[in-house]
Amino acid sequence: MSAAQKFYRLLIAIGSSLQSPFLLVIRLYWGWQFFLAGKGKLSDLEKPTQFFQSLGILFPHAQAILAGATECFGGLLLLIGLASRLISIPLMILLSVAYLTADLPLVKGIFTDPDKFLAADEFLFLFVVVIVFIFGPGKFSVDWLLQRKFAEPSSRRA
C-alpha cells in the first residue's frame, strides 16, 4: 500500500471518528435553539399569532401553538437524540413553510442574491434538521442506545 493510500485511509478514519461528536454538538446547540424559540412562542402566543395573522396564515392562533409546540418539543427530542429523524420531518416542514411565508422574497432570490437566502434564520435551522435527518443523531443519543438494545444482533452497526 502506498503512502498516499495510507494517508487517505487515515483521513477517512479521523473524519469518521468525528461524526458522532459533531452530530452531538449540532443536536445540543440547535436543539436548545429550537426549544428556546418554541418556548418563546408558547410563552407569549399573542406575538406569533399576530405575526401569522399579518402573513395571512389561516387559524393563526392554532398555528402559533402548533409551531411553538413543534419547535419546543422537537428541540428537546433533538437535545437527547430521541426520534431524531422522525422529529426532523415536521421541523423541515415548519421551516419550509416559514421560508415560503415570512421570507418568500429571499427564496425567490436564491440565485440572484444567495447571501440573503443563506443568512436567513430559517436556512440555518433547516440545514441542521436536514443534517440530522440524513446522518441520524450519532452514537451519543438515545436513538443509538435503543437501536443497540432492540436491533437484531446481525443488523447492529458498531
- Structure confidence by residue, pLDDT tens digits, 65-112: 999 999 999 999 999 999 999 999 999 999 999 999 999 999 999 999
Other Cβ atoms less than 10 A from the Cβ of 93: the count is 12
- Grid cell, residue 109, equals 432570490
| CA neighbor of 27 nearest in space, from 138, 101, 148, 154 | 138
Kindly list the distances between the CA atom of residue 151 and the CA atoms of 83, 147, 154, 155, 158, in Å, as whole numbers in the listed order. Answer: 15, 5, 8, 6, 12
Are the C-beta atoms of 74 and 101 separated by less than 8 Å?
A: no
Q: pLDDT tens digit string along 7-63? A: 999 999 999 999 999 999 999 999 999 999 999 999 999 999 999 999 999 999 999
Residue 9: how many CA atoms within 13 Å on its side-chain side? 6
* 151 band by pLDDT with thresholds 50, 70 and 90: confident
* Biggest CA pair distance of the chain: 66
- Grid cell, residue 112, equals 440572484
pLDDT, mean of residues 115-128: 92
Are the C-beta atoms of 35 and 76 separated by less than 8 Å?
A: yes
| CA neighbor of 128 nearest in space, from 66, 73, 74 | 74
d(CA 36, CA 117): 23
Kindly list the distances between the CA atom of residue 82 and the CA atoms of 9, 97, 149, in Å, as whole numbers in the listed order. Answer: 32, 24, 14
**What's this model's pTM, rounded to 2 decimal places?**
0.90
